Amino acid sequence: MTGMDRPRRLRRTPALRRLVAETTLEPRQLVLPMFVADGLAEPRPIGSMPGVVQHSLDSLRKAAVEAVAAGVGGIMLFGVPRPEDKDAVGSAASDPRGILNRGLRALADEVGDSTVVMADTCLDEFTDHGHCGVLAADGAVDNDATLDRYVEMALAQAEAGADLLGTSGMMDGQVGAIRRGLDAAGRIDTGILAYSAKYASAFYGPFREAVASSLEGDRRTYQQNPANRREAIRELELDLAEGADIVMVKPAMSYLDILREVADHSTVPVAAYQISGEYAMITAAAERGWIDRRGAVLESLLSIRRAGADFVLTYWATEAANWLS
């Protein structure tokens, strides 16, 4: 047996395995998505995402402090308006008194520069039809009219204290329109986290409950076809040309091949979003005793990092950060 290659030599002890690990998972590489809902006095549990809640403004502040103490790299905030505040153009999204902008101000005041405050720059939570944009007379999403609303929304979020704007609506030209709008208003330091490859996924289901979505139908005319791979690189190149500071792939676990390609092509940092359905599947299996929860969570996050993500949006961010510290 002399001369045999023996890779197991480097797996023999925890210290050896740690020494030669090719991928790291650290608290700073995790971003916590959070939901803040208007009119709540106490957090409201989300049934399809056990352990995740719609926050009140007070509980949002407390959870943000806990996340920062754990060392997470950032917080991505989504707003949940009251049903009566939704309308056809998502007016509450750009209203300084709207719940998302109030939540952003609360985060900026509470945690300041100790973490990166990110905002979801999309209309879907705020429209009464649930789509990510303004509708034309025939019911289709009007791309260019939507861009005008995104710019208004972006300016309100920048004013509220967001460091990064998450352009998740998948409208053509959205990064360029928002960048020009920010620059014209003197907001040259506000960054753009472009959802460059966002697929029309069945795994978004629990998120619809989390944001109390009003959507009927689907978003397949603007989110990407799960069958397509080259299209993701086309979207990436467009977003880079329009001024994206960071790009993202969403979902993460079902699209690790896309994430790898985007990471190989990107000249800016790459994020990936471990979405609600991914969270729900692991949580449900762990609750039934079918898998080890902590092991599955950390392995899933490591796989996303290994595929090329510089950081990961995950609902386990605070908990995983505490495990890793």
Active-site positions?
A: 198, 250
> b or e along 46-56 (b: 16 or more beta carbons within 10 Å of the residue's beta carbon)?
bebbeebbbbb
Residue 155's closest CA among 181, 134, 193?
181
Q: Tell me the CA distances in angstroms from 160 to 99, 163, 195, one per residue in order.
A: 11, 10, 21
Inter-helix orientation angle 256-265/230-242, to 10°: 40
CA dihedral 147, 148, 153, 159 (to 10 degrees): 120
Tokens 């996303």 belong to 304
Tell me the sheet residues that pair with 247. Answer: 194, 270
**Spatial separation of the C-alpha atoms in residues 246 and 272, rounded to whole Å:** 11
Question: Residue 216 class from Cβ within 10 Å (0-12 exposed, 13-18 middle, 19+ buried)?
Answer: exposed
Identity of the residue numbered 58: D
